[in-house]
Structure 1
Amino acid sequence: MTTSSQAGVRYHVHNHIATVQFQHPQSNSLPAHLLNQLAQTFHALGNDDDCRVIILQSEGEKAFCAGASFDELMAIQTEAEGLQFFSGFAHVINAMRKCNKLIIGRIQGKCVGGGVGLAAACDYAIAHHSADVKLSELAVGIGPFVVGPAVERKMGTSAFSQLAIDAGKWRNAEWAKHKGLFAEVYDNMEDVDEAVRHLAHTLAHSSPQAMADMKAMFWKGTEHWDILLRERAAISGRLVLSDFTRKAIAGFKAARK
């Protein structure tokens, strides 16, 4: 189990259900070390015979995930560093894709950028009505290159392009459900949690081999993503060094203060 008082990933397995929770004080954003912990956790649970189903959630009652850490984006100085940082998102998505356990996303609030990617990489996402979504990457000069394949696979090219092009616009949870990102949306967290518990309990008593075979079927055609997502990470790693992106991120950070 990996834990941190400030930021990190915790997980436990009980009655064949693994609950994975990530936390960061800046709206559950995703710095490199947290991405690495998430990827390692999914790899570990994929090899844990006691685990039959995984619940992915974040801490708190507000944002599910604010995406990439602006502080770390600003600290990138070379294309190699940019590739390394954005490869963190690639590693998490690929770890979720290759994990032979079904992953249920518990989405309690807004998803931005990489947070939308996490939700899309879940096999079944259950959300609160406040779980608005936005792919804000273009607004800071990058583009959703790494998370794009996961989002497009789940929502289709049209919905993905709408999110990617109009990068400043929030779409509400019902829109995300209609487009396929969320399977269920509820008006209060009690109903969200009950739906997550019920599905997890059902899957924990289902055939592990059947579920593993189903997951392989659902993700058929993504076998090349180890290479594809690294190539996409290189694009983001190059763009993050541009003057446009530096100024845009600085502006976003200033607006938060």
Structure 2
Amino acid sequence: MKFNNILIDDSTSTAIVTINRPSKLNALNSETIQELHEAFKALEEKKSVQVIILTGSGEKAFVAGADISEFADYSEKKGGKLSAKGHAILFDFVENLSKPIIAAVNGFALGGGLELAMACHFRVASHNARMGLPEVSLGVIPGYGGTQRLPQLIGKGRALELIMTAGMVDVERALDYGLVNHVVSQEELIEFCKKMASKISNNSPVAISYAIKAVNAGFKNSNGYDEEIKAFGACFGTEDFKEGTSAFLEKRKASFPGK
């Protein structure tokens, strides 16, 4: 896979996707959003890949926001289409991917950058990370899921404060709020995420995909408990379940076939 704005290392079971626009602080333009969609779709279909780490190039930014120059003159209709397309091909797509995506947040994660990190299944931040949704300072609101995912993660009151003040939070507050799971040094960030990915990879990829689906259902207009029951039952028909239970009873380490 060759792209203009992202780099991919999928040589191991943990793939690393790096947004590579350092001169623009890795800002998301339409081309980058499309490339990320294509990359995640290909990695989801690649059997050898079990976990994906998403990060930004350089030391300053994960993603410093959307590329405002692309849409500054948009009409209402074009603005709505921009948001809808972004949801469909990237932000919702990432959230619902069957393989776990860990956001390795290095530096600024602002606007669309924070929205992308929040769409990932969980987040690890470096000490220099700063996060926020500054859209109202531009006369617009977060349009890539920020008004929905931020309250889910940190609560309505805190989310509204962060959105309405257009402010940033440092990693200590982000950790306290539950916006990130872990904070490490910038030098340790990728290796820490790799270790987390390795722990995930020890488990059934089929069960993990069902767990993602069930958890997501609880935050949508569907009944999460019903989805859990359905997914739980479906696990019993998988080869991973047979291998996992056999390994437990035989007191050995499971070798999941991913089926």
**Alpha-carbon separation, structure 2, partners of 1:10 and 1:202:** 24
Partner of 2:207: 210
SS of equivalent to 2:24: coil
**Alpha-carbon separation, structure 2, partners of 1:220 and 1:55:** 23
The reply on whether 1:9 has 2:6 as its aligned counterpart is yes
Q: 1:90 aligns with which of 83, 87, 90?
A: 87
Instruction: Give the AA of the match of 1:2.
Output: K
Once the two structures are TM-superposed, the CA of residue 19 in structure 1 deviates from its matched residue by 1.1
Please give the TM-score of this superposition, normalised by the length of structure 2.
0.78
Partner of 1:170: 168
CA contact (8 A) 2:65 2:111 kept: yes
The reply on whether 1:190 has 2:187 as its aligned counterpart is yes
Q: 1:107 to 1:153 in 2, by over 3 A?
A: same
Once the two structures are TM-superposed, the CA of residue 179 in structure 1 deviates from its matched residue by 1.2
Once the two structures are TM-superposed, the CA of residue 145 in structure 1 deviates from its matched residue by 3.8
Once the two structures are TM-superposed, the CA of residue 155 in structure 1 deviates from its matched residue by 2.1
**Alpha-carbon separation, structure 2, partners of 1:23 and 1:84:** 25
Q: 1:3 to 1:102 in 2, by over 3 A?
A: same
Higher relative CO (CA 8 A, sep ≥ 6), structure 1 or 2?
Answer: 1
Once the two structures are TM-superposed, the CA of residue 224 in structure 1 deviates from its matched residue by 6.0
CA contact (8 A) 2:174 2:180 kept: yes
Once the two structures are TM-superposed, the CA of residue 82 in structure 1 deviates from its matched residue by 1.9
Q: Which is greater in Rg?
A: 2
SS of equivalent to 1:181: coil
SS of equivalent to 1:111: strand
Partner of 2:99: 101
Q: 1:87 to 1:2 in 2, by over 3 A?
A: farther
| Bigger mean CA deviation after superposition, 24-33 or 197-206 | 197-206
SS of equivalent to 2:104: strand
Once the two structures are TM-superposed, the CA of residue 41 in structure 1 deviates from its matched residue by 2.0
SS of equivalent to 1:219: helix
Once the two structures are TM-superposed, the CA of residue 166 in structure 1 deviates from its matched residue by 0.6
Once the two structures are TM-superposed, the CA of residue 96 in structure 1 deviates from its matched residue by 0.6
How many residues are paired up? 219
**Alpha-carbon separation, structure 1, partners of 2:121 and 2:63:** 17
Q: 1:10 to 1:223 in 2, by over 3 A?
A: farther
**Alpha-carbon separation, structure 2, partners of 1:88 and 1:38:** 13
SS of equivalent to 1:14: coil
Deviations for 1:12-67, whole angstroms, at most 9, x for unmatched residues?
32221111111222111111111111122222222222211110111111111111
The reply on whether 1:124 has 2:100 as its aligned counterpart is no
CA contact (8 A) 2:128 2:186 kept: no
Partner of 2:17: 20
Partner of 1:65: 63
Deviations for 1:100-128, whole angstroms, at most 9, x for unmatched residues?
00111111111111111111111121111
- Gap runs ≥5 in structure 2: 223-259
**Alpha-carbon separation, structure 1, partners of 2:11 and 2:215:** 26
CA contact (8 A) 1:29 1:69 kept: yes
Q: What is the identity percentage for the equivalent residue pairs of Structure 1 and Structure 2? A: 26
Q: State the superposition RMSD in angstroms.
A: 1.9
CA contact (8 A) 1:15 1:204 kept: no
Q: 1:41 to 1:152 in 2, by over 3 A?
A: farther
